[in-house]
């Protein structure tokens, strides 16, 4: 997927961020682009386990950055493990998604039907999916059944 398509997805996600909100940005190209937009346009607190995303944000006096500790994944410079999980719980006074007003999944369409190593959330915990294409028929049924708002950026 090209960076312009990822930027469209990122802009759609940033539009949902209220001024003064706290957001969690994990390791993806789309979230890195979103961090650039947040840095330029928002007053927010960003929680991230990802050093490249944390490095985007210090230029803004309007964005507070919380970097989670943990074991570093060398290939993506992100932090994981029990220490990161405890830091996330401490930063939000609860588990991240349980504490959120709105949980938004930002993903390229080709990643939606991919089986991942780690499960971040149950589908029912997600409020909005922003993607650049149409999910598979099976996933579309599951999204509809879980009452999730699907935003597709591709025309």
The CATH number that applies at residue 14 is 3.40.50
Range of the domain at 117: 3-152
Mean predicted lDDT score pLDDT of the chain: 86
Q: What is the pLDDT of residue 44?
A: 95
The number of folded domains in the chain is 1
Per-residue pLDDT tens digits for 28-85: 899 999 999 999 999 999 999 999 999 999 999 999 999 988 888 888 888 888 887 8
Per-residue pLDDT tens digits for 86-129: 877 766 544 455 556 788 888 888 888 776 655 666 788 889 99
DSSP annotation string for the chain:
--HHHHHHHHHHHHHTPPTT-EEE--SSHHHHHHHHHHHHH--EEEEESBHHHHHHSTT-SSEEEEE--SEEETTTTEEESHHHHHHHHHHHTS-HHHH-S--EEE--HHHHTPPPSS----GGG--EEEESSPPPHHHHHHHHHTT-EEEE---
């Amino acid at each position: 997927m090209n960076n312009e398509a990822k930027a469209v997805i990122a802009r759609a996600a940033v539009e949902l961020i209220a001024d003064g909100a706290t957001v969690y940005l994990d390791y993806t190209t789309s979230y890195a682009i979103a961090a650039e937009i947040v840095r330029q346009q928002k007053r927010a607190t960003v929680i991230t386990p990802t050093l490249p995303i944390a490095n985007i944000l210090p230029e803004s006096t309007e964005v507070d950055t919380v970097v989670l500790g943990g074991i570093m994944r060398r290939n993506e410079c992100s932090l994981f493990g029990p220490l990161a999980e405890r830091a996330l719980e401490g930063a939000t006074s609860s588990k991240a998604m349980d504490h959120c007003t709105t949980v938004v999944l930002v993903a390229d369409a080709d990643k939606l039907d991919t089986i991942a190593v780690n499960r971040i959330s149950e589908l029912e915990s997600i409020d909005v999916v922003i993607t650049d294409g149409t999910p598979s028929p099976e996933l579309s049924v599951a999204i509809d059944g879980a009452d999730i708002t699907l935003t597709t950026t591709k025309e």
